[in-house]
Structures are given as C-alpha cells and as structure tokens.
Amino acid sequence: MTFIMDRRKFLKNSVKAGIAIGLTGISGISVGRDRGQLSILYTNDWHSRIDPFPMDGGKYEGLGGAARRMSAINNIRSKGQETLLLDAGDIFQGTPYFNFFKGELEFKLMSKMGYDAVTLGNHDFDAGLAGLHAQVPNAKFDIINANYDFSKNIMKDVCIPHRIFRKGNFKIGVTGVGIELNNLVPEKHFGNTVYHDPILAANREAKILKEKKGCNIVICLSHLGYSYRSKKVSDVHLAKNSSHIDLILGGHTHTFLKNPVVIENKLGKNVLVCQTGWAGINLGKIDYETHTNLKAAKPHSSMLKIC
C-alpha cells in the first residue's frame, strides 16, 4: 500500500512536507548532492521492536525491523546529502529483548545506525534511573531533555537541554521535552526527577537556539503525545504556544501522520508537527533545501508506506 502526499494542500500553506519512508525500500525522492540539502530522519516509540513483526496475519505483519531501518538510513545517506537522525522516545519496552537486555541492544543498534540525538519517553524509565544510566555508555548519541530536572540524581550529567548540529550550510538546534511521569511511571523508577512545564522549557531553549545561537532550524523532540480531547499538554498545544520552534517530532500517542500537520504559532509562523506511528514501522524524512539565504529554507519531502 502506498500513500501519496496531497501536495496542493501544502503548497497553499507555502510548505511542502511529508514523512515516513517504509523500511523495505525508498522511491520517489528527489535528492541533491550539494551542501545546501539536509535530510532530517526521525523515529519514535520503537518499543524494542528489533525484529520485523511476525508473519502471523496481524495488522503489521512483516513490517519494521532494525536491519531494514539501517538499510533505509544507509540508502539515504549514500545519496550524498547531509543527514540528521533523531528519535522522540520510548526506545525501550515492548518485546523480550528489553526484558533480557534492559536496553543494551536498542542503544547499541541505534548507535550503529548513527543516531545524532534522542529524547526520553516514559517507558525509557522502565528499568529505573539506575537501569537507564547503566545503558548510557552504549549510547553514542546525545540524550536531550529540557523539562526533566535530574540535578539530584545519577542522570544529572547525562541529559542536556539542547544541542546544536552543523550540517553543511545548516545550523540546527535540537531541544526535547517529555510527558509528566507522575501517575504514568512508578515513582521508584524516576525517583527525585522533577517535572517542569514542557511548553515553558521548550520555548526557553528554542529562543536561545534561534536568537542567541543563530540556528536557522529549531527542532523539538517531544514525547508529549500528538493531541488529546482533554486540556492535557500535547504537540498541538506546544506548537500553538511556541515562538521559535520550526519542527516538532513527536511520540507517545503512536499517531500515524500521513503528512506533517501545519500549525500556526504565536507569531503567525508555521510549525510542522510529525509522528511516525510506532514499532519502527516507518522512518520519517523531512528534506530542507537552501542556497545562500538560510532564512528562506523550506522543507520538502514525500511519503511512502511500504507493505
């Protein structure tokens, strides 16, 4: 099954965007070889799905798998453009691989794939702070979160509020926020970690990245969830109440977004909100192009769902 992006809708918003390259192949993507092109690749809610779903007649049979994801990532990188590989949390929990290896395999595989940064989801605390911290040496990537205060526990020197990546002509600022852990995760697993308002934290870091650090693209890795019927804070809520965020890569609600959702922020500018579903079924891809005027950078991409 192949989903084709409705480009007309996005052209009306002066934005071309899309997500989700299936993990069994890549097609229909126009890629340049100059340093004015950037592909942002992203995942969320992998949930320890190392192998593809079994061929058992289930909804997702045969989809996903770490080996296929690595192949898709390497295929994109082989085209020659700059890439940034990110994850929005809930890397752990969901298959016996986590029960046996407590996240070691997941972090080692993601390091092998060349992830640049991740944020934390609630299930990444399922082995407790000590369990999470024990896997940090296997993570050859940054762990980014701006609204969890780890200052009084062993994660204090691990998580950072933001990171700046230089990819060709691009200066990309990445921050991250997580969901309220209380009543979602057993208290013994997150201990004295203090939760702060994710919107205030994300806006604080985004302003630093955009205004003080001069980033031309600011990304927020979010494990808040796409949207809720209640007033619970979500990616949609964050986008509407943001000022300097260009792209929100979300997780937690396992939402399959065929295309990025375009939301107007407090300044009347567009924010793209994306999520790839769950279990590594999709690999998200956003392409930015620019020449000499970085402020004019606009995202392009397509969407394929491989079944």
pLDDT of residue 11: 31
Q: How far apart are CA 225 and CA 237, in angstroms?
A: 10
Q: Number of folded domains in the chain? A: 1
DSSP state of 45: -
**Residue 199: phi, psi to the nearest 5?**
-70, -45
* Contact (CB, 8 A) for 179 and 122: yes
Give 140-187 pLDDT, tens digit per residue. Answer: 999 999 999 999 999 999 999 999 999 988 999 999 999 999 999 999
Question: Which residues in the chain come in under a pLDDT of 70?
Answer: 1-35, 290-307
Q: Tell me which residue of 127, 144, 224, 237 sits closest to 185, measured CA to CA.
A: 127
CATH of the domain at 76: 3.60.21.10
pLDDT tens for each residue of 274-284: 999 999 999 99
Say how far apart CA 189 and CA 132 lie, in whole Å. 10
CA pair distance 98, 105, nearest whole angstrom: 8
25 lies in some domain: yes
Q: Which one-letter DSSP state was computed for residue 183? A: T
Which residues form the domain of 198?
Answer: 7-300
Residue 251 lies inside a defined structural domain of this protein = yes
Give the E-state strand segments of 45-97 in sequence order.
82-87
* Gap between the Cα atoms of 121 and 254, Å rounded: 12
For residue 193, being part of any structural domain is answered with yes
Does residue 305 fall inside a structural domain?
A: no
Answer whether residue 106 is part of any domain: yes
Residue 298: predicted pLDDT: 56
* CB 175, CB 144: distance < 8 Å: yes
**In this structure, is the dihedral angle defined by the CA atoms of residues 208, 301, 255 and 267, taken in order, positive or negative?**
positive
Does a structural domain hold residue 147? Answer: yes
Helix (H, G, I), strand (E, B) or coil at 164: strand
Q: Which residue in 113, 26, 120, 117 sits closest to 66, CA to CA? A: 113
Measure Cα distances from 243 to 49, 204, 285 in Å: 35, 10, 23
Residue 273 lies in a domain: yes
pTM (2 decimals)? 0.88
Read off the tokens for 184: 């979602």
Residue 116 is assigned to a structural domain of this protein: yes
